[in-house]
Structure 1
């Protein structure tokens, strides 16, 4: 009965609308609006809410009136679009009516106020929370919602809904829910990173210190022996030459006094003697030092060497000579 009340007075409402508000509305437009409104009311009574919404919406577009807008709201309720219906009711309340408005307008306003109060508890709501990362976008049924609405109670129509959150560098999170009228549900989405966590590198074992082969001591010892041998050779050669010079000078320089013409030979003799002495000193020191280095060289473990054989050096010391013996 209430649903028909505004529609029964619809014709009168359209005829007696304030002339100033619709001065540009022709009689043909008014007649078209009345026809659409009547078709909308018939569809509403028959439960054909899609047709009712279409007809009332088109009639209201021709002549805006609370009696038509309330028909749109009632059709939305029948379709389960409670959010849109609530907004249509609230629009009627916000706009109000003129003091001299037809009685049908006054009745539509009163019914809108009562019906929106009855509708409000029926509207379900959802609260969406996102963990793991700050989402770049959250959508309900593919429609983005403001970032400020995340974590807040958000009214939705009853029925099935798909909630999806996305963020750069993370896998999308999605949840499907069903909301009955008057219910509320919390939805928690977790955004998982697509970048694998960095695994700390395993500490590498320090390489084993190579076995001490004694190579520096061996090289230095052999070098010292070589230098010592060269020194002995130098000392021997220059000594022999010095002795030969001495024999010659003995005949021409009696009492170590040489004539002027033999002073150069005397100087040469003295130089050769000095070189011989230095050679024997260096040679002796080299042979002794090299022998000590080779004798004190660390022993090489044959099991830790890469070659089964290697250089072997053994000092040779005997009456009247010092040397070294080696094998490969």
Structure 2
């Protein structure tokens, strides 16, 4: 397999004295880059979803610490601000804890920069390994469905679930990809389809509500998704709508794969019930691109993640390998805790 095939996008870029982020709110209509020159800029980019995806959030936060150090900002306050930007993705907290560990050992701005670069480089390497592990599970000629965006836009590059898809296409194992639109921010429609088309991967967009019908047709053999937090028993928090895909997959005999780096595993969280689910503003459901689409006076409930029980997961793929049918004992054997 050519590891560079179908892989041309890098959305988080360090330029020596500032961080450049491809604004994911503007895609696919515009490719707009945001220049972040301090920790506050990075915090706002994370909070406002200009940068999103658990690994990318963690990487951006690490660079936010570097910017704070270079600018002489009080680092404890900067890290607290970055930590509060999003509550569900454990990668954010992990990256900040790693940067704090270096700081506690007396690291200066240059050493913090080296650490942030290491976090980014390690993520890309992990994604390539996960791609190989996950693709090996897929029978040649298969159809695969994915949800939300888990590609280069959400990581250092290559992607987690989309990395498996990139590797699977390169190896001739995946013949067709189906991407769910992913309401309300349409990450699948706007971002995943942009990546797939950009890298020449055969793909079709489907409405979120068409997923069960698609599985019934026999066109899909695997659902492959990412994760924002994985609990000690294998329960997995991911973009809202993932849980119902897992239920539909089990009913139709379709395999369900979760792909995420080991940094997404939180062995301190016992199970999915202990994962904080982020609630965002109702206006995100009531409007489209700033235009109100629902009658005035209407309200909405807008959780942006849900939890898929481990019992519905056929394979959990990290850079450490594949865990089939994850449970607490299997998780502990691989990740300790």
Query: TM tier, shorter chain?
Result: under 0.3
Greater relative contact order structure (CA < 8 Å, 6+ sep): 2
Q: As a proportion of its length, which structure holds more helix?
A: 1
The TM-score with structure 2 as length reference comes to 0.24
The TM-score with structure 1 as length reference comes to 0.24
